[in-house]
């Protein structure tokens, strides 16, 4: 089977795959996404020697290896990110959220969750900002960030922590000097002292139970809910609310919003909400 061969998908195959994807990770695919799905998945089927999308569906439901699901998610989602993306959030986190948390955090324990870490730019940015805010006090604080994603591939890339120069171009030169080492002409690697502040774990936001022993102070979950339907989004928002301390913050993507009539969160500014 040649790489240029496009397999056709039947309505039944599409509906089965769409239902599987919705159940496993919450992503909603309307019937209008049929061409998108085949365009993204065709290469997988060809590489595996499969002759139909039904074969692929059966493979997915029978597979006990999370790699199969991870590969599927990688294909149908976009992991486009860079350091300081939607930078107003990070300025607000530094100027307002950390100032508040420094006053109220018991035992100097900051509990921050980056719920869709992708390749690591967001949690590493948060770690840098926390260090810059705490300055000489940073050693006295427990400030490890939990960074989760459903994709094993992006988590592996995040743990390696090597980035092309265009990904770090919005960072101040001093930050590059303090937190990165240049490993090639156009590549920068996160220094070990910063790596140690971020814990990467695979986690599916569709899980019924979230494994937090203590309530969180801040959750970043940006540019994920754009993939969800209304019901899935509302369920996730309520889970986030339950995970947060009173006074805690939720950051979502600028292309996303929370309906004030159905959400317990209080709107603070664009894409920033609070549990009060």
Q: Phi and psi of 266, rounded to 5°?
A: -100, 130
The pLDDT assigned to 76 comes to 84
Per-residue pLDDT reduced to its tens digit, 118-134: 999 999 999 999 999 99
Give residue limits of the domains in the chain: 11-76, 87-274
Residues 27, 24: Cα–Cα separation, whole Å: 8
Strand order in the sheet with 162-164: 162-164, 187-190, 180-184
Mean pLDDT of 110-116: 96
Return d(Cα 234, Cα 247) in angstroms, integer: 20
Q: Which of 67-81, 141-155, 201-215 has the lowest mean pLDDT?
A: 67-81
The closest alpha carbon to 18, from 9, 150, 74, belongs to 9
* 141-168: pLDDT as tens digits: 989 999 999 888 899 999 999 999 999 9
Instruction: Supply φ then ψ for residue 9, to 5 degrees.
Output: -115, 135
CATH architecture of 87-274: 3-Layer(aba) Sandwich (3.40)
Segment (H or E) for 217: strand 216-220
The span from the CA of 73 to the CA of 14, in Å, is 15
CATH classification for the domain delimited by 11-76, as one of 1.10.155.10, 3.40.50.11540, 1.10.1060.10, 1.10.287.3510: 1.10.155.10
Residues 37-56 have a mean pLDDT of: 92
CA distance linking residue 169 with residue 26, whole number of Å? 33
């Amino acid at each position: 089977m040649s790489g240029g061969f496009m397999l056709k998908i039947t309505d039944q195959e599409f509906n089965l795959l769409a239902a599987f994807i919705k159940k496993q990770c919450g992503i909603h695919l309307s019937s209008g996404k049929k061409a998108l799905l085949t365009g993204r998945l065709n290469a997988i089927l060809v590489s595996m020697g499969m002759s139909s999308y039904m074969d692929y569906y059966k493979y997915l439901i029978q597979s006990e290896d999370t790699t199969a699901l991870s590969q599927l998610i990688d294909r149908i989602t976009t992991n486009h990110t860079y350091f300081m993306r939607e930078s107003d959030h990070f300025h607000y986190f530094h100027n307002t959220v950390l100032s508040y948390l420094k006053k109220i955090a018991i035992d100097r324990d900051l509990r921050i969750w980056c719920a869709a870490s992708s390749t690591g730019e967001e949690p590493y940015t948060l770690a840098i900002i926390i260090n810059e805010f705490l300055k000489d006090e940073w050693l006295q604080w427990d400030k490890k960030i939990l960074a989760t994603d459903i994709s094993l591939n992006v988590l592996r890339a995040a743990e390696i922590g090597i980035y092309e120069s265009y990904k770090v171009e919005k960072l101040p030169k001093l930050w590059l000097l303090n937190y990165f080492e240049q490993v090639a002409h156009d590549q920068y690697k996160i220094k070990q002292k910063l790596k140690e502040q971020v814990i990467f774990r695979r986690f599916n936001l569709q899980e019924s139970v979230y494994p937090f022993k203590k309530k969180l102070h801040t959750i970043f979950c940006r540019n994920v809910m754009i993939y969800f339907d209304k019901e899935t989004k509302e369920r996730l928002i309520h889970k986030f609310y339950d995970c947060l301390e009173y006074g805690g913050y939720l950051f979502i993507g600028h292309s996303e919003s929370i309906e004030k009539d159905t959400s317990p969160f209080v709107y603070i500014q664009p894409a920033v909400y609070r549990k009060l």
